[in-house]
Amino acid sequence: MSTSPSPLLELSRINKSFGPVQVLRDVDFTVTAGEVTALVGDNGAGKSTLVKCVSGIYSIDSGIVFYDGEPISINGPRDAADRGIEVVYQDLALCDNLDVVQNMFLGRERRTGLVLDEATMEELAAETLAGLSVRTVKSLRQPVSSLSGGQRQTVAIAKAVLWNSNVVILDEPTAALGVAQTGQVLELARRMADNGLAVVLISHNMNDVFAVADRVAALYLGRMAAQVPITEVTHAQVVELITAGRSGDLGLPAAGSGDDYGLNGARG
């Protein structure tokens, strides 16, 4: 196995409960710059909860979050944003009546005095899209209501990239897309990683995971069943990790068996 680069974001033994329900149990998860890390798991496995802990929407009950090797506290979305951690949610949170530039700068508009600096915003939006080799969005001044699902996803992702993000978490970005648009969004994820960002791809689609991910992390009933380089697992093994919390072929015991099996491929 090749030596792993240092993780940019590292979660260690994260626990999170809602009242009596423990949703995350001693979860280790690492995210590395220049890589796409797929986060997989069945419905209710805890993927969204983990992401909400990382993005400051939920506070963790225990565990440590390291950023660039230093322990940090994420006490709210602002703390996550300050570290350049951005989440692109499934529902995209774009405003239909606003155009591409307006959406990309929504809430963080550039101004010259009291007046919006439209020219600079348009230029920066165009630069960001060009930096990601996006050619599918033809006009930056068209309302996003006139865009296809894939184009909307592209705008939402580019918006996250625009804000000097270091970690971009994509929450099922291809769930509502057809084949061609799925390909474009996966290419975009790859390009972001190639540009040096740490990309997390939450997905239920094994084809997407194997098409683009460098590593795969599988949650099973709130435990991290494994985090391994994609080249070291087969589709069948990942499915087994998702559905049973273990893969006999990987020599991993079932999640929740009590053993400390933190097979975390991203650890140096």
Ligand X SMILES: Nc1ncnc2c1ncn2[C@@H]1O[C@H](COP(=O)(O)OP(=O)(O)OP(=O)(O)O)[C@@H](O)[C@H]1O
Q: How far is the CB of 93 from ligand X (least distance, A)?
A: 17
Q: With contact defined as beta carbons under 8 Å apart, do 235 and 206 qualify?
A: yes
224: part of which helix (H) or strand (E)? strand 223-229
Query: Strands 36-41, 62-67: parallel, antiparallel or unpaired by DSSP?
Result: unpaired
**H helices present in 61-148, as ranges:** 77-82, 100-104, 118-131
Q: How far is the CB of 217 from ligand X (least distance, A)?
A: 12
Identity of the residue, 4 or 17, whose beta carbon is nearer to ligand X in the bound complex: 17
Q: How far is the CB of 49 from ligand X (least distance, A)?
A: 3
Identity of the residue, 13 or 52, whose beta carbon is nearer to ligand X in the bound complex: 52
Q: Rounded to whole angstroms, how far apart are CA atoms 92 and 204?
A: 18
Q: How far is the CB of 210 from ligand X (least distance, A)?
A: 19
Helix, coil or strand: residue 58: coil
Q: With contact defined as beta carbons under 8 Å apart, do 67 and 32 qualify?
A: no
Identity of the residue, 129 or 213, whose beta carbon is nearer to ligand X in the bound complex: 213
Neighbour tally for 5: CB within 10 Å = 12
Helix, coil or strand: residue 210: helix
Q: How far is the CB of 45 from ligand X (least distance, A)?
A: 4
Identity of the residue, 153 or 203, whose beta carbon is nearer to ligand X in the bound complex: 203
Q: How far is the CB of 118 from ligand X (least distance, A)?
A: 38
Identity of the residue, 47 or 246, whose beta carbon is nearer to ligand X in the bound complex: 47
Residues at the site binding ligand X, with contacts judged by CB under 6 A: 18, 21, 23, 41, 43-49
Q: With contact defined as beta carbons under 8 Å apart, do 105 and 125 qualify?
A: yes
Q: How far is the CB of 35 from ligand X (least distance, A)?
A: 21
Q: With contact defined as beta carbons under 8 Å apart, do 16 and 58 qualify?
A: yes
Q: Rounded to whole angstroms, how far apart are CA atoms 174 and 256?
A: 31
Q: With contact defined as beta carbons under 8 Å apart, do 36 and 214 qualify?
A: yes
Identity of the residue, 39 or 162, whose beta carbon is nearer to ligand X in the bound complex: 39
Question: Of 232, 171, 211, 167, nearest to 11 (Cα)?
Answer: 167
Identity of the residue, 44 or 178, whose beta carbon is nearer to ligand X in the bound complex: 44
**67: CB partners within 8 A, 6+ apart:** 8, 9, 10, 83
